[in-house]
Chain A
Amino acid sequence: TLTCREAARLLLEDEDHELPTAERLALQVHVKICFACQRFVSQLNLMRRATRAWRKHSETAD
């Protein structure tokens, strides 16, 4: 059982390296029932997608 603080820390870590299985499972359990952390996941996803789109755009566009 994670707190939101612990879950957010793991979500940030997960952006840059693979989490151990136990931590990943605990995170999945928490996010499934936590609306605020689901929002945080969406924000991280959007930032990742936007950065990728910006990079692609900069390499090919004017």
Chain B
Amino acid sequence: MTDFARQVEGLRPHLMRFARAQLRNDAWAEDAVSECLLAALERPQSFSGQSQLKTWLIGILKHKLVDQLRRNTREATVLVGEDGEDLFDDLFQADGHWREAPRDWGDPDAACCQKQFFEVLQLCCEHLPPTQARVFMMREWLELESDEICRELAITSANLWVLLHRARLRLRDCLQLRWFDKAEAAAS
């Protein structure tokens, strides 16, 4: 085994974690990572050394993750109505005012760069209903355009927006509960 192959293989656990976070399916993640490593080992000359090896492999892996989602579209997608309730209407009174005004989340820089905050964010993503989690990760992690996500998952743009706004509201609720409420309690 060459040095390059050893280094690439050594990053398998990291790639598996990245793939699992995206796909939420161990078998699909295993396939995507294996294909990624195979592609890297077949074309070592395309690694210029200007970026970190890990960053280069993540770039390859993102394409393999999209391939997996495409292959498993039927399993990956459920109807919008089956993917958890919509929290939106509960936020407002009949006259359109907030039932409870959004809370102050303080200095964004304080939260955004803390490892513990990332852990809570990951936990919140894992608690999203499956399709919401999938479209949120495709949008925010794989950085796919809306029309690309719609094409891959065979859903309409209206369905996609509903799924994304439900995901954002659930994440907001979860972060409030698991991070900001605790920070508030600790400060008082």
* Partner-B contacts on A (CB < 8 A): 3-6, 8-9, 12-13, 15-17, 35-36, 39-40, 42-47, 49-55, 57-60, 62
Per-residue interface assignment for chain B, residues 88 to 108, with 1 indicating a CB less than 8 Å from any chain A CB and 0 otherwise: 100110011110011111001
* Residues of chain B having any CB pair with chain A under 8 Å: 14, 18, 21, 52, 54-55, 58, 88, 91-92, 95-98, 101-105, 108, 111-113, 117-118, 121-122, 139-141, 146, 157, 160-161, 164-165, 168-169, 171-172, 175
Contact call B101/A35, Cβ cutoff below 8 A: yes
A to B CB contacts below 8 Å, 11 in the list: A3-B92, A3-B97, A5-B96, A8-B88, A8-B91, A12-B168, A49-B112, A53-B113, A54-B122, A58-B18, A60-B54
Cβ-Cβ contact count across A and B, 8 Å cutoff:
98
A59 touches B108 (CB 8 A): no
Q: A3-B95, A5-B92, A50-B112 are in contact. Are A42 and B105 (CB under 8 A)?
A: yes
Asked if A59 and B105 sit within 8 Å, CB to CB, the answer is no
CA distance A59 to B58 in the complex (A): 7
In the bound complex, do residue B95 and residue A39 qualify as a contact, i.e. CB atoms below 8 Å apart?
no
Interface of B: prevailing SS: helix
Do A16 and B108 form a contact, CB below 8 Å, given A4-B92, A54-B121, A60-B52?
no
CB distance from B89 to the nearest CB of A (A): 8
Q: Which residues of A contact B139 (CB under 8 A)?
A: 16
Cα A11 to Cα B104 in complex, Å, equals 17
Asked if residues A51 and B121 are in contact (CB atoms below 8 Å), the reply is yes
Query: For B101, what are the chain A residues with a Cβ–Cβ distance below 8 Å?
Result: 35-36, 39
